[in-house]
Chain A
Amino acid sequence: MKKLLGIFGLFVFIFVATALLSPNFLGSYNLQNLVGWISLFGIISIGAMFVIITGGIDLSIGSTIGLVGSLLSWMLMQKGWSEPVALLAVLAVSLCIGLVHGLLITKLRLQPFIVTLCGLLIYRGLARHILHDETGGFGSAHDKLRHFAIGKLHVAAGISIPLSVFFLAAIAVVAAIFLNRTIWGRYLLALGRSETAARYSGINTDRMKITAYALCSLLGGVGGILFSLNLNSIQPSGLGEFYELYAIAAAVLGGCSLRGGEGTVLGVIIGTAVMRVLYNAINILGIPTHLEFAIIGTVILAGVIADELVKRIATKRRAVHALSREP
């Protein structure tokens, strides 16, 4: 919990600073938009968290999003599939992607970095092939479906909440229960710390890792559906590009360790919020957008350095404490 306070403090700082510097920031249009994007990125970041907890990495999330968006557009607009069938089909595809990653990583003992790097290239290529590298979309034919991604719920005069927030909330609650209240969540955290010791304790580590990759790609697929419905303009070469890096960065900012075994859902969501508020601030404060990456990178680096320093001090203190208790 203490760990979350740090990242939450960073969030509050950026939020307040931006609000003070720009009056437009707190406008309801901007806030709704911001919350909507946080929700979409939050969903894929939770997926990334599961893989990072196992000590692995998934570099293919962005390409999976691109492939899912392209497939959805192709199925609905060119093939004329019904909405439920198309949605189920793309979710099935993303789930299969994750299963294949997991199988290759556990059964063939390939490195996650390589497997998902190849995934990044393959799914992007397939996405472009499916739409012949032309921009796809849904026009106005599927406005009811698109409502899920862009609709808002009016709660009071002048206040409305994007529906995607509810998607994120539902997914976050389920993910948090899975991670903290089920044996599988405990197994993931255990194997992330020490796969060997987990195996010696009777945990089927391979199956748990496959589950993590499957969840990651599936949530990437959910994100892909929502992103493409929201944008309604699907560039197969660009949709989702770099999103895996945003997701990984958000997870790490939110307290996940790339060494594995650490991570909380709430932390990841706050991490995502930091990233999006930062991005929004760059736009709204008129900072040249070509500096975007540089600024985001700097903030993440600073956050991770601060976290590492705090952790070192805590470890030292704990060790001293333990020593003083020994007879």
Chain B
Amino acid sequence: MNLPSPNALPLLEVSGLCKSFPGVRALRDVSLALGRGEVLAVIGENGAGKSTLMKILAGVQEQDSGEILVNGAGVRFPNVRAAEHAGIALIHQELNLADNLDIASNLFLGREPQRLGFVDCRRLYADSLGLLAQVGLDCAPRTLVSALSPGRQQLVEIAKALGTNARMLIMDEPTSSLSQHETEQLYRVVKDLRSRGFSVIYISHRLGEVKELADRVVVLRDGANAGELQRDEITHGAMVRLMVGRDLGRHDRTARGHLDGKGPVLEACGLRTTAHPRKPLDFSICPGEIVGVAGLVGSGRTEMLQVLFGIEPAMGGEIRMNGQTVCITSPLDAIRAGMALVPEDRKQQGVILEMAVGQNTTLASLRRDAHAGFLNRKREGEIAVEMTARLRVKTPGLSQFVQFLSGGNQQKVALAKWLAMEPRVLLLDEPTRGIDIGAKQEIYRLMEELAGRGVAILFVSSEMEEILRMSDRTLVMHEGRITGELRRAELSEEAVMRLATAHTASAS
């Protein structure tokens, strides 16, 4: 561990960084410093401003105000090139490789060694070997990137960054799509880079990883610095405390629904998804119950909701509503059975960005209110007014395009569309991803209000805090299987993480 001495000039220093988007102040006066040979973890809940900060450091976006110093000299990054020139490279969360090209071509994309105007292939492949060795990847440089596993693609990305003479690597959720083995390999690479004097900013919300790798932790909350932990202060509890701003208290919610004696409203028996066809899913949910679905990214939670709602075909099994088997082959079938889904990707799936707020709000209920196919424009207007008022959607008017609303208000529009249909089962996929605290609270209140009226709510969330706060009962998924079910009394972050990583199954 070669910690930077206190007197040494930090390699990178950021102070007073601010950035706003329409309706959201993403960063407020954020400061941090990064030393040579240091692994700095930046953690925070979704929407805390981590991604925005990293995008600014990598030149993808420019700050509204604030300073960036590299080696003590002020710099501005109007574009990615400028950041690269200063020695900063971003390893994207979604891999950014051209997967139709081979490894070497990707490593040198845009800066191919040339000879007389032609690509100097001999040097291209020879130099690639050197870069690949640095990250411990033993693949032929001529291998197509599409043939590599996500973990290996990640290593290619890192090698590519090293090839640009980067001294600082920003890794954004690097392990989100990696297997256990690949994750360990990545740890080794990160540690090796550190010992060779590279600096790494490591973003993650897997706290175990942070404990393993970080020399120091900077915590962001609601777009501002929430605190900093030195190597010997990094504990799970300390990180969570800084992230959520208080000790994780239990909310005084009593479990409902299944206690009132009525049978389940929705049951899934042996349901199989196309992503994990060999892993049948069984669960049920009662009226008035809020059931959380926890698990890591890629554990099959979204696929489960999509099969329930008829987006993806089921590969087998049965769905019952109020004890009756229903056949669901399209979203329309699911809607008729009394379900509604607010999907994960708000901008692509939840709302139509270039359409008016009013028209978005009524899109699902048009059919029900129409006479022989003709729009019932009076009823449509009423629903738009009523639902946007009920959800307190902040918009200049109902004819405003949804794209000009803030994320939280867009999400409210996506929800408003379904409230008019009075669903019996509400499926929510990451209902508060990327929205501000105020809108979050409103959505939580709405969930509780609906549950109070007997709506069954099944929600997928990657935010531990949300699961702990909202669910009466929690299903935990791992690699397509429901690995456990936790009642309110058994619910804890440790219990969820144990099931989500399926450690019960392995030796630990």
Measuring CB to CB, which residues of chain A are less than 8 angstroms from any residue of chain B?
Answer: 181-184, 186-187, 189-190, 193-194, 196-204, 261, 318-319, 321-323, 325-326
Contact indicator A326/B370 (Cβ below 8 Å): no
Q: Does B118 contact A (CB under 8 A)?
A: no
Please give the number of chain B residues whose Cβ is less than 8 angstroms from any Cβ of chain A in the complex.
37
29 inter-chain pairs at a CB distance below 8 angstroms, sorted by A residue, are A181-B377, A183-B367, A186-B359, A187-B366, A190-B355, A190-B359, A193-B352, A193-B354, A194-B348, A194-B352, A194-B353, A194-B354, A196-B349, A200-B331, A200-B350, A202-B331, A202-B332, A202-B334, A203-B363, A204-B330, A261-B354, A261-B355, A318-B400, A318-B401, A318-B404, A319-B404, A322-B396, A326-B394, A326-B406
How far apart are B424's CB and chain A's nearest CB, in angstroms? 15
Complex Cα gap A319–B22 (Å): 8
Q: What B residues does A322 contact at CB under 8 A? A: 22, 396, 400, 404-405
Q: What A residues does B366 contact at CB under 8 A? A: 183, 186-187
Q: What A residues does B307 contact at CB under 8 A? A: none
Q: What A residues does B374 contact at CB under 8 A? A: 181-183
9 additional A-B pairs beyond A182-B375, A189-B355, beta carbons within 8 Å, are: A190-B363, A193-B352, A193-B353, A200-B349, A202-B331, A202-B332, A202-B334, A318-B400, A323-B22
Could you mark each residue 269-306 of chain B with 1 if its beta carbon is under 8 Å from any beta carbon of chain A, else 0?
00000000000000000000000000000000000000
Q: What B residues does A202 contact at CB under 8 A? A: 330-332, 334-335, 364, 367
Closest chain B residue to A257, Cβ basis? B354
Contact indicator A197/B370 (Cβ below 8 Å): no
Most buried by A among B351, B352, B374, B417: B352
Measuring CB to CB, which residues of chain B are less than 8 angstroms from any residue of chain A?
Answer: 22-23, 309, 311, 330-332, 334-335, 341, 343, 348-355, 359, 363-364, 366-367, 370, 373-375, 377, 394, 396, 400-401, 404-406, 417
Q: What B residues does A181 contact at CB under 8 A? A: 374-375, 377
The binding surface of chain A is classed by DSSP as helix
Complex Cα gap A203–B310 (Å): 12
How far apart are B354's CB and chain A's nearest CB, in angstroms? 5
Contact indicator A184/B373 (Cβ below 8 Å): yes
Contact indicator B396/A200 (Cβ below 8 Å): no
Q: What B residues does A326 contact at CB under 8 A? A: 22-23, 394, 406
Contact indicator B349/A197 (Cβ below 8 Å): yes
Q: What B residues does A203 contact at CB under 8 A? A: 331-332, 363
Most buried by A among B334, B335, B351: B351
Complex Cα gap A296–B286 (Å): 65
Contact indicator A197/B352 (Cβ below 8 Å): yes
How far apart are A157's CB and chain B's nearest CB, in angstroms? 42
